[in-house]
A and B are shown apart, each in its own frame.
Chain A
Amino acid sequence: MQTKILDKEVRSDATKNPVDMNYKLRAQHVDAFYGDFQALKDISLDIKANSVTAFIGPSGCGKSTFLRLLNRMNDYIDGFRMEGAILLDDEDIYDPSVKVEELRKAVGMVFQKPNPFPKSIFENVAYGLKIQGIRDKAFIEERVVESLKQATLFDEVKDDLNKPALALSGGQQQRLCIARVLAVKPSVLLMDEPTSALDPISTDKIEDLIYTLKNNYTIAIVTHNMQQASRISDYTAFMYMGRLIEYDKTKKIFTNPGKDQTQNYITGRFG
């Protein structure tokens, strides 16, 4: 692909907000540190509800760190601290009054490597409900089936929900992990390279799933796969060395990026 030298007028500022309204999540001047190392530098961006926002950038650029800030998964890391604010539906999730367990029910997460519990398929999906103290068996069963259907896994496993989850294939395990998250009815889904450990066919299925899920969920996804970002996302944030370089509609980022760095990265010249 040929490099296009961009005109001054076409360049957009990274801080310019591509999202007009209906924010689900807003990050305001976020800095994050691991000990002395600053992993995120003054990140501000808004994530639109019921859309897919992709985070791309070379390894170590801070995109996973940022994603994990959104459900406070970094809380347990020794020496980690953050400054700035992250708002979910206009409420600061780092406010001392926020119960982190409640936050995580609203902001679900799917990890890079499928990580089902060493239990049955049913128990995996029911886990999030059971830890909330829900004991109603009929309710749990209904929710498990519903979640498995949503994650397009039900037809493949309906004959034996008591089968160990670890007996499933990698792609099925990842969809199970998605079903497990959906069962607690979050409004936001965070996905940290959810297909990087999967084969192309399983990846396809997950991408289709993401596409259907965005009608009801706000999805933030970290990916190393540029094609994936361009296929599934509505907005794309390009990060580099802990900074947000560019954030815009995906179409714009991949056809007519505002910054040379973005251009160089998406055309594969570095990263």
Chain B
Amino acid sequence: MNSRVAHRYDDQLFRGMGVTATVSCLAILIIFIGFILYQGMDRLSWEFMTSLPSRFAERSGIYTAWAGTLWVMVCTTLISFPVGVGAGIYLEEYGKKGRLSTLLEINIANLAGVPSIIYGLLGLEVFVRFMKMGSSILAGALTLSLLILPIIIVATREAVRAVPKTIKEASFALGASKWQTIWNQTLPASFGGILTGVILAISRAVGETAPLIVIGALAYVPFAPSGPLDEFTVLPIQIFNWVSRPQHEFVINAAAAIIVLLLITFVLNGVAVYLRYRWQQKLKW
């Protein structure tokens, strides 16, 4: 057989497989979103957003759920941002490169792959029981922070590493201390990358259900939380709860809540993409 013809077939075969894979992924996504929109769009209303949960599907709303999600999101950001970025900068700029740092690096990367329910169990034992926080927003936010810290640390390290050495040297050579160099040069130059990583990590945290169920976030909370020590529920748990009800009306509620949750994660991802784009425009070496 002519080998050139064989190569051409190979090429076409691979191309066909690639196209099929791409199209089927997109198709599944479009079908899924379309189905959700079809089911839930009509249910979406101002009333749905502002109503408390109820045992009657048509009176139920997601006020407590999205308020809880917002609380958890903000608290998680406040905890994980400084800790994660600080750890990332330390490991990249201060930590001595050696066997220990390599070991640490591998472990942090591994932590990013640990199933989220394991973090839930850790949170239950440490925050809820040992530190007696109860099933509070704080306990939930701490648990989710543990979950996303590895992602933030890795993203920070990569962003910091991408800052040209020549810029840091220039700063040192002018008499700047290490901290001044990090604060005035390294951080501004890497902030776009850091922020992108943080936002993507937060949007993952927003969608998490399992660890929060484990630490005892309730499905039914009659009031929106007013402080970090209140009990709470979040959108994914509300959705999970409604989906598992036998009545069809609740499933429609779930679809409407999914639309809201998707919107939040899409917006977060959009912001991340935008920030990355803007920082890339601003900084050219």
Q: Are A78 and B166 in contact (CB under 8 A)?
A: no
The yes or no answer to A270 lying at the interface (CB within 8 A) is no
* Contact A180 to B174, CB < 8 A, known contacts A78-B96, A118-B189, A118-B285: yes
Distance, CA A166 to CA B189, complexed state (A): 14
**Which of A76, A166, A177, A181 is the one whose CB lies under 8 Å from B172?**
A76
Stretch from A26-34, A109-117, A136-144, A148-156 contacting the other chain? A109-117
User: Complex formed: what's the CA distance from A223 to B4 in Å?
Assistant: 54
Cβ of B103 within 8 Å of any chain A Cβ, yes or no, is: no
Judge if B97 is at the interface, Cβ distance under 8 Å: yes
Q: Are A131 and B172 in contact (CB under 8 A)?
A: no
B8 at the interface (CB under 8 A from A): no
Looking at chain B's contact residues, the main secondary structure is: helix
Q: Decide: B169 and A117 in contact? CB cutoff 8 A.
A: no
User: With A and B bound together, what is the CA distance between A219 and B79 in angstroms?
Assistant: 50
Interface size class of A (residues with CB under 8 A): 20 to 34
Of residues 173 through 221 on chain B, the ones whose CB sits less than 8 Å from some CB of chain A are: 173-177, 180, 184-185, 188-189
**Contact residues in A for B188 (Cβ distance below 8 Å):** 118
Q: Which residues of B contact A214 (CB under 8 A)?
A: none
Which of A55-63, A97-105, A199-207 sits within the interface? A97-105
B170, A111: Cβ atoms closer than 8 Å:
yes
> Interface readout for A202-217 with B: 1 if CB under 8 Å, 0 if not?
0000000000000000
Given A101-B177, A113-B166, A166-B284; A127-B172 close (CB under 8 Å): no
Do B174 and A111 have beta carbons less than 8 Å apart? Answer: no
Tell me the bound Cα distance from A166 to B171 in angstroms.
16
- CB atoms of A111 and B175 under 8 A apart: no
Bound-state CA distance A256–B21 (Å) is 74
List of A residues within 8 angstroms of B169 by Cβ: 73, 111, 115
| Complex CA–CA separation, A121 to B184 (angstroms) | 15
**A78 vs B102: C-alpha distance in the bound complex, in angstroms?**
15
Quick check: A128 and B175 within 8 Å, CB to CB?
yes
Which residue on chain B has the smallest CB distance to residue A72?
B172
B95 to chain A, nearest CB (A): 11
Whether A115 and B167, one on each chain, are in contact in the complex, defined by CB atoms closer than 8 angstroms, is yes
Contacts of A171 in B (CB 8 A): none
Any B CB within 8 A of the CB of A145: no
Q: What distance in Å separates the Cβ of B80 from its nearest Cβ neighbour in chain A?
A: 28
Set B96, B97, B173, B189: member contacting A73, Cβ < 8 A: B173
In the bound complex, CA of A109 to CA of B170 (Å): 8
Chain A residues whose C-beta falls within 8 Å of the C-beta of B184 in the assembled complex: 127, 131
Cα distance A240–B108 in the bound complex, in angstroms = 45
User: Does A132 count as interface, using CB distance less than 8 angstroms?
Assistant: yes
Decide: A109 near B173, CB < 8 A? Known: A117-B167, A166-B285.
yes
The reply on A71 being an interface residue by CB < 8 A is yes
In angstroms, how far is the closest chain B Cβ from the Cβ of A209?
18
Find chain B residues with CB under 8 A from A117 CB.
167, 170-171, 185
Q: Which residue of A lies closest to B188 (CB)?
A: A118
Complex contacts, A166 vs chain B, CB 8 Å: 284-285
Contact call A181/B173, Cβ cutoff below 8 A: yes
Bound complex: CA A184 to CA B185 (Å): 18
Q: How far is the CB of B105 from chain A (nearest CB, A)?
A: 15
Choose among A78, A104, A113, A116 the residue with the greatest number of B CB atoms under 10 Å from its CB.
Answer: A104
Complex Cα spacing A102 to B172, Å: 11
B189:A131 contact, CB within 8 angstroms: no
- Show 28 A/B contacts (Cβ-Cβ < 8 Å), sorted by A: A71-B173, A73-B169, A101-B176, A101-B177, A102-B175, A104-B172, A104-B173, A104-B175, A108-B174, A109-B173, A111-B166, A111-B169, A113-B166, A115-B166, A117-B167, A117-B170, A118-B167, A118-B188, A127-B171, A131-B171, A131-B174, A131-B175, A131-B184, A132-B175, A180-B170, A181-B173, A184-B174, A184-B175
The 7 tightest CB contacts between A and B, nearest first, are A105-B175, A115-B166, A128-B174, A109-B173, A104-B175, A115-B170, A101-B175
The chain A residues found within 8 Å of chain B, CB to CB, are 71, 73, 76, 78, 101-102, 104-105, 108-109, 111, 113, 115-118, 127-128, 131-132, 166, 177, 180-181, 184
